[in-house]
Amino acid sequence: MTSGSTGVTANVPASPIVRVPFLDLIAQYESIRGDIDRAIAEVVRTQRFVLGSEETRFEKVFAAHAGIPHAAGCSCGTSALFIALTALGIPRGAEVIVPTLTYPATAEAVVLAGAVPVLVDVEADTGLIDIEAVEAAITPRTWGILPVHLYGQMVDMQAIAALAARHGLKVLEDAAQAHIAESRGLRPGALADAATFSFFPGKNLGAYGDAGAIVTRDATLASWMRQYRNHGRLDKYRHDFVGFNFRLDGLQAAVLEAKLPHLERWTDGRRRVASLYRAGLDGSGVTCLVERPYSKHVYHLFVVRHPQRDRLKKALAERGIDCGLHYPIPLHLQPAFADGQAKTGRFPRAESLCQELLSLPIFPEMTQEQIEYVISEVRARA
């Protein structure tokens, strides 16, 4: 705000603080309490905690909702990635191309499966894996591509699928942040060998604990995955192959089934907040990451860039607004994945994005007052 007489920037007058949490899962619970309590009570009443009818039912409704024929429930999004890679027969030492800007679980699953994550840079304006960088990273040892639909926006899957077909590569989508997102009208799993989801409580569809799922168009693959996540057995006593315990918990399946009918509406709510943010932050000191024309973004996160990100984050926190960082350190600079080559300058777009990115609060229950307050505070302080 400038004072007309002196042209000097004055302090912003201290308006009352409005509390804006990063995410409000209590508000979500309050809005569907009856359904959730009934679903949980039913599992407790029947004591069907492991592989009862809830899991099977949820797998069916989730697949139908995702628009992909088959789903396998599992213990979390990280195990979903690991199971999918294993089911696809990933060879030891094979290379899998992974974006350097993602949650570490994406690369962890590749390492746990005995393969090598080959990191590549991302696009500066979306944070998504750069498809030209993927192509440049392909070697004779490349086995597959693991695009991440970061922040809720899908990578251009038509382009990835065409590239994979040209080079004979597998494609596994990490859709942990992208339930019911679309790329040219198609959802995760439509153009890949499989796609994985996380139902971590804070994800767009969240359980009351850890949970995950894999979707695939391949029925054989799906039944292998279901068998694998349950010790490789089909019935109580026969183990056809060595699997593990990566099962979806019955209580989580019941909660997820109760929440699923609301996902469409919640996603619309997130998209509405995002469009108000975009309009309200136009011409402010922050730059919003873009939504590509091919894509239907589901705004798991609303990410902006600012050259003094840490200062802005602190100033907003002092005004009652909780922001997040997704993610402040790219994988190539994480000791766990650096492989002795942790040097800056390797992936300049991801590196500068990581220094500038800031996730603003976004959740479907945000009130008009909260949205307008975030916009005016960001405008005043950026």
Ligand X SMILES: *Cc1c(COP(=O)(O)O)cnc(C)c1O
**Which residues in this chain contact ligand X in the complex, by CB under 6 A?**
76-78, 102-103, 105-106, 148, 174, 176-177, 198, 200, 210, 212
Least separation in angstroms between residue 74's CB and ligand X is: 9
When the beta carbons of 178 and 378 are compared against ligand X, the nearer one is 178
Distance of alpha carbon 3 from alpha carbon 113, whole angstroms = 62
Reduced to 3 states (helix: H, G, I; strand: E, B; else coil), residue 58 is helix
CB of 200 to ligand X, least distance (A): 4
Q: Residue 186: how many CB atoms within 10 A of its CB? A: 18
Minimum Å gap between C-beta 251 and ligand X is 16
CA R_g for the chain: 22
Neighbouring-strand partners of residue 72: 214
Cα–Cα distance list, 266 to 28, 91, 179, 206, 298 (Å): 9, 40, 11, 12, 9
CB of 155 to ligand X, least distance (A): 12
Q: What are phi and psi of 298, to 5 degrees?
A: -105, 10
Nearest by Cα to 97 from 142, 162, 140? 142
Q: Residue 102 CB, nearest distance to ligand X (Å)?
A: 5
Choose between 206 and 361: whose C-beta lies nearer to ligand X.
206
131/213 with CB nearer ligand X: 213
Give the residue among 235, 211, 233, 236 at the shortest CA–CA distance from 224: 233
Tell me whether residue 172 or residue 312 sits nearer to ligand X (CB atom): 172
CB of 172 to ligand X, least distance (A): 11
CB-wise, 171 or 312, nearer to ligand X? 171
Backbone angles phi, psi at 369, to 5 degrees: -60, -45
Q: In this complex, which beta carbon is closest to ligand X, that of residue 148 or of residue 304?
A: 148
